[in-house]
Amino acid sequence: MENIKKPLLYNKGSIDTLGLTIAGNSANFAVYAPKAAQITLCLFTHPHSQPKMEIPLFGPDQGIWHIEVHDIPLNASYTYRMNGKELLSDPYARAFTSFYPWGDFSHKRTPFLCRIDPQPPFDWQGVIAPNIPLEELIIYEMHIRGFTKHHSSCVKSPGTFAGVIEKISYLKQLGINAVELMPIYEFDETHSPKVYSATKQPRINYWGYNPISFFIPVSRYASRQDEALDEFKTMVRELHRAGIEVFLDVVYNHTGDGDDFLISLRGFDKTHYFMIDENEHDRNYTGCGNTFQTNSSMGQKIIIDSLRYWVEEMHIDGFRFDLASILTRGVDGHPLQDPPILKAIANDAILKNVKLIAEPWDAAGLNQVGQFQKWGDWSEWNSSFRDHVRKFIKGTENEVGFFATSMTGSQFTYPTGSPQSGINFVTAHDGFCLRDLVTYQHKQNIDNGENNRDGSTQNDSWNCGDEGPTQNIEIHELRERQMRNFWLALLLSQGIPMILMGDEIGHTRKGNNNPYVQDNDINWFDWKIWEHNHSMVQFVSSLIHFRKRHPILRKKHFLKDDDIEWHGHLPNHPDWKVHSRFIAFTLKEKQALYVAFNTDFHHAEVFLPHLQENQHWKLIVNTNEPWDCHNLDTPEKGIRLESSIKMAPHSALIAKAY
C-alpha cells in the first residue's frame, strides 16, 4: 500500500458539502460539530493501525469543521479525532474499510475507518427502473441475509446481495413486482449485551434496526465486503431488469450510537442530532434507548441527503420509514402540525418522485394511521386492515362491517385518500408469520432471552383447537384452510398488498412473534419447505396473477355502487356491526366476480346472484379444497354452479360469470 507522503499540502477547503468530496487530486473534508474545541483528520494506511498522520481541521464555520488536502493516496482511510480523544467515523462516509465477519463481537470499541478511494462509475447497462403504478404494486417484505442463508438455497454466496440475484427467477415466478428490504444500512448486529437463554451465547441483532450509517450498505451482506457497493447496485439493476422495484426499510428514528462513541453522530453533536431532556438524558420514543432529532436543521439535512443518495446513486424506487411518527415530533418530542422534515421530503425535486411508505406509529403510543396523506403523497402500513382481517377470518363476531371496509380499501381510515393510501398486510416481520397465526394462541419467545416478555401479547391469532404442532388431521386441514382464507382476503382487497417472505411456503417461526435476534432457521427461508409445499406456492402465485388479470381488484378510487354489489347489509358507517360471520359481494366487470367468506363454525347456504340470460357462474376457488384443487389459472374450467352452493365452516370462494 502506498505510504502517505509528508508533508501533504492543504488549505481551508469548503463547507458547502458535508463528508468527503474528491475533485482531481484534492480531497475536501467537512463535518458538523459546533461544540467541538478541536477536530483533527486522521489518515491511515492500514485498517485498525495507528494514524500515519493527523491534520487539524479549520473552523468551526457555521458549526462545520473543514479542510482540503492534496495528493492523499486514494487507498488510504480516514477518521476524525474529537477534542484530542475519541476517533469518530464520518457520518457522511460512503464506504468503510474496516471489515469484520458477521457476528464477530471482537470488533467492539474499534473505530470504523472510512474509505477515501472513490468508486468507479457503475455500469447500469441501460436498465431503467420499472416505475410501477401504485395500484399495480404487490410488495414482498424480504430480509437479505435470511432469503438465501439456509443451506437449502444452494446459491454460491448465501445470505448476500449476490444470493438474491440467483433467486430472482423465483420472485418473478411468484408474481411480486416490488421487494421491501429490511434494513440494509450498516448496522451493528453485535450491540446487545444480553445472551440467549438456552445457549448463553451473545445475541445477534438479525433484523438490523440499529443503524450506524445512513449511507453505507451492510458490507457483511456482500460476497466480498470491499465490493458491497457494486454488489448492491448489481442486485438493484438485475431486479429492475426483471421488472421488480426495490424499496428500503429505513431507520431514521434512532441510531446505534453508544456512549463508547463507536459511531459518530453522538460524539460530534449529541444535543443537535438526538432528543435530549432537561437533564441531558435521551428521550426514548423508539424503545431503543435514543430518538433521532428528525426536525432539527442538521437532522433534516442528513436525512434528505441520505434519501437523495440512495435514489440518485443506488437507483432505489421507494422507502418504508420505520416508526415514522418520530418524523412528526419536534425537538422536544411533542408532535408538530406541520413537521419540517415531511415538508422537505414533499418539496424535494428528487424525493417527490419516489414511493413513500410510513409505519404510522412509534413506540411511545403516537399512532397516526390515516394521517400521513396530509403531509404528502404517502402510503401507510394499514394496521387497521391487519387487525380486522385477522379478527374476521378467525370468526370474531361484530367484525363483518370492518372486514368489508378493509376489503374495499379502508375508506373510513383514508377518507381524503385512495385505496393506495394503505399497504394491506396480514403479517409482517414483526408479529406472527402466517403459519403461526393459525397455529399458536400465545407467543413462544423464550429463546429471545427476555423471559417471554418481549413481543406483543395481542395477536388476534387462533390455533384452530390445539397449541403448536399437531397430529390431529382435522385441525391441520382447518389451519391450511384458514391460510387460504387469509390469502384470498389479502389479494382480493383494494389497496396495495404486502407479503411476508416465507408465508407463501408456510414457513413457521415456532410461535416466536419477535424474532429480531434469531439468526437461524426460525428466520431463514427454507427452500426445502418450498419444494415440499410447492402446491401452496403455486396457489399464491396463481392468486397474484389472477389479481393482475382483473382491473376491478386494483381500482385507483374507492369502490362505488357501479363497481360492487353487496349481498346482505351495506357497510355505510365505520361503526356498522351485525352479529354475522358471513359476507358476500359481486365485483362488476366484464365477467363479474362473486366473492364470499363464511367464517362461522357452521355451514352456510349461499344463493348466487342472478345473471343475464345465457350466463352462468363457474367456481374458481373454494378454500375448503386443498391447495392444488383450484382454477385460478384456468377459470373457464371451473365447476359450473347452479343457483346456490353450500359453504363449509371457515371457508371462502370465488366464482366468475361466463
- Please tell me which residue in 68, 186, 245, 322 is annotated as part of the active site: 322
Residue 380 contacts residue 418 (beta carbons within 8 Å) = no
The answer to whether 498 touches 425, Cβ cutoff 8 Å, is: yes
**pLDDT tens-place string over residues 595-633:** 999 999 999 999 999 998 889 999 999 999 999 999 999
Strands 651-657 vs 593-598: parallel, antiparallel or unpaired: antiparallel
**Three-state SS sequence of 459-477:** CCCCCCCCCCCCCCHHHHH
d(CA 394, CA 522): 24
Nearest to 157 by CA among 204, 80, 220, 109: 220
Q: Which of 115, 143, 178 is the last residue of a domain?
A: 115
What does the pLDDT read at residue 3? 67
pLDDT of residue 574: 47
Whether 226 sits among the annotated catalytic residues: the reply is no
> Distance between CA 191 and CA 202 in Å, rounded?
9
3-class SS letters over 6-60: CCCCEECCCCCCCEEEEECCEEEEEEECCCCCCEEEEEECCCCCCCCEEEECEEE
Choosing from 180, 238, 245, 359, which is the catalytic residue?
359
pLDDT value at residue 198: 75
Residue position matching grid coordinates 381488484: 553
Task: For residue 58, give the CATH number of its domain.
Answer: 2.60.40.10
Q: Cα separations (Å) of 170 from 151, 166, 182, 522?
A: 17, 9, 19, 21
Domain C-terminal end among 115, 147, 171: 115
Q: Is residue 615 part of a domain?
A: yes
Q: Tell me if residue 269 falls in helix, strand or coil.
A: helix
- Please give the torsion angle defined by the CA atoms of residues 522, 526, 530 and 531, in that order, rounded to the nearest 10 degrees: -130
In a domain, 25, yes or no: yes
Question: E strand or H helix at 436, and its extent?
Answer: helix 434-437
For residue 258, the model assigns a pLDDT of 60
23 within some domain: yes
d(C-alpha 397, C-alpha 231), whole Å: 51
What is the distance between the alpha carbons of residues 324 and 329, in angstroms, rounded to a whole number? 10
Picking from 81, 115, 149, the residue at the C-terminal end of a domain is: 115
Asked whether residue 514 is assigned to any structural domain, the reply reads: no
CATH number, domain with residue 597: 2.60.40.1180
Residue 649 falls within a domain, yes or no?
A: yes
> How many domains are contained in the chain?
2
Look-up of cell digits 362473486: 594
In a domain, 625, yes or no: yes
Q: Is 633 a catalytic residue?
A: no
Task: Identify whether the C-beta of residue 137 lies closer than 8 Å to the C-beta of residue 318.
Answer: no
Q: Give the residue among 610, 616, 595 at the shortest CA–CA distance from 493.
A: 595
User: What contacts 494, CB < 8 A, 6 or more positions away?
Assistant: 407, 408, 409, 419, 553, 554, 555, 558, 559
Cell numbers given for 126: 441501460
E-state strands within 383-526: 422-424, 496-500
- Residues 298-309 as b or e (16 or more Cβ within 10 Å = b): bbbebbbbbbeb
Q: Are 310 and 318 in contact (CB under 8 A)?
A: no
Q: DSSP assignment, residue 87?
A: E
- The closest of 4, 72, 67 to 31, measured between CA atoms, is 67
- φ/ψ of 315, rounded to 5, equals 65, 35
Nearest-Å Rg of the Cα atoms of the chain is 27
Neighbouring C-alpha atoms within 13 Å toward the C-beta of 451: 0
pLDDT beneath 70: ranges in the chain: 1-3, 5-6, 47-48, 108-110, 258-263, 568-579
Among candidate residues 651, 266, 609, 270, the one with its CA nearest the CA of residue 488: 651
| Residue 393 included in any domain | no
pLDDT for 262: 52
For the stretch 193-208, pLDDT in tens is: 778 877 788 899 999 9
Q: Is residue 450 part of a domain?
A: no
Q: Which domain holds residue 620?
A: 564-657
User: How far are the Cα atoms of 250, 255, 267, 275, 330 from residue 299, in angstroms, in the given order?
Assistant: 15, 12, 15, 11, 11
Residue 430: predicted pLDDT: 96
pTM: 0.96
- The distance of Cα 22 from the centroid of its chain, to the nearest Å, equals 33
